Amino acid sequence: MHSSNKNNLFRASVFALTTLFMAGNAFAAEPYDQSVKIEKQINKDTKAAQKKVDRFAEQAVDLNADYKTTLQLIDSLRIYNNQLEILLKSQETEMATIEGEMATIDATERGAIPLMNEMIASIDAFVQIDIPFKKEKRAERIEKLKNYMIRADIPNSEKYRKILEAFQAEIGYGESIDAYQGKILNNSEEIQVEFLQVGRVALVYLTLDGQSAGFWNIAEKRFEPLDSSYIRSIEQGIKMANKQATLNLIDLPIPAAKRAE
């Protein structure tokens, strides 16, 4: 009986120790698990923090590059602004010069208009007293010049250029030989003829049938008939003017030069 109680007491002690051991193990496992979790969280947070650090580092590099680029841009803008200031000052000086020139040009143009009108009038007067070759063409040119002068859409430079062209054309007539058809009055009757103009020294004509000839009498300011002996020369002169024959000497009625008084 006494031995049985001892066995029971031993078993109870063993059971109690086993229970305490298992409870101790369970109690000891809980802090370990917590530490593992904490360590994992720390590692996770460390990785996240490292990513942020890396991202911030990259941003810092980009910002540094942007900063250097901005500094270079500022330097470029400073240089450009300095050049722009110099350019603006130069333009201001040029504008002042142009304004002064424009004032001069306005005054010049005001004086040029009467001068151009006088030039046209002188051409007109000269044509009126000159040998009457190509009268219609020359009169038409003068009329155009007069119309140009009253048109506001044509600049004065263009008007002046046209006047100079007219002067050059008139000068050219004095050095040319030309043949063209026109009409003369013969006993109040218009007759179609072939004119031969030799500079400003001779204007002769030949009727289209080649039977009659005449010349402009400068002293009398009229056309007069010519002897038939001139017909051959006039025919040859017309061919030369039309480039149908080589230039050669021909016999024409040339007035004698007068002594200057």
| DSSP string for 220-244 | TTEEEE--GGGHHHHHHHHHHHTTS
Instruction: Tell whether 37 is covered by a domain.
Output: no
Which pLDDT does position 4 carry in this prediction?
A: 56
Q: Is residue 247 part of a domain?
A: yes
207 within a domain of the structure (yes/no): yes
Within 8 A by CB and 6+ apart from 148, the residues are 154, 158, 159, 162
pLDDT digits (tens, 9 = 90+) for 220-252: 889 999 999 999 999 999 999 999 988 888 888
pTM of the model: 0.56
Structure tokens at 210: 């080649």
Residues of the domain holding 184:
177-256
Give the pLDDT confidence of 42-69 residue by residue, as tens digits: 777 777 778 877 777 777 777 777 778 8
pLDDT value at position 78? 80
pLDDT of residue 139: 95
Residue 78 lies in a domain: no
Counting the structural domains of the chain, the total is: 1
225 occurs within a structural domain: yes
Quick check: is 201 in a domain? yes
Q: What is the mean pLDDT of residues 200-206?
A: 93
| Residue 33 covered by a domain | no
Identify which has the larger pLDDT, 139 or 112.
Answer: 139
Average pLDDT in the chain? 81
In a domain, 141, yes or no: no
